[in-house]
Amino acid sequence: DAGVIQSPRHEVTEMGQEVTLRCKPISGHNSLFWYRQTMMRGLELLIYFNNNVPIDDSGMPEDRFSAKMPNASFSTLKIQPSEPRDSAVYFCASSLIGATPDRGLGETQYFGPGTRLLVL
């Protein structure tokens, strides 16, 4: 089975432009997560969805960031307008909640290969 798929793998854009990152979770998984990795802040959770519904977006930096999950097999993370400080690697991860007796806590998250974003 294919793992988590992210596109594009690399993106170079100019400040002020809109950037859209895409993610296809593992088939059958019901939770999806967006992370950002930078040297300064490490790996940080931006937002996550359960059954396509956003559960916690407290990690989203500001209103310039938005995420959607229109169906179980697709999610987008959009930055508009982009700024140089948004340069980072963005990871998408998915997991299956509910497979363990404790109602899904601690389910393993499987990560996509990441999108390396550079905003000039």
Binding residues for other proteins, per CB under 8 A?
31, 33, 42-45, 48, 50, 55-56, 89, 91, 93, 95, 97, 102, 104-114, 116
Indicate the residue among 33 and 65 with the shorter CB distance to other proteins: 33
Indicate the residue among 45 and 72 with the shorter CB distance to other proteins: 45
- Which of 40, 45, 41 shows the shortest CA–CA distance to 67? 45
Indicate the residue among 43 and 118 with the shorter CB distance to other proteins: 43
Residue 91 beta carbon to other proteins: minimum distance, rounded to whole angstroms: 6
C-alpha to C-alpha distance for 51 and 86, rounded to whole angstroms: 28
Residue 81 beta carbon to other proteins: minimum distance, rounded to whole angstroms: 26
C-alpha to C-alpha distance for 106 and 119, rounded to whole angstroms: 34
Could you tell me which residues are beta bridge partners of residue 51?
Answer: none
Which residues lie below 8 Å from residue 51, measured CB to CB, with a gap of 6+? 30, 31, 72
Residue 52 beta carbon to other proteins: minimum distance, rounded to whole angstroms: 15
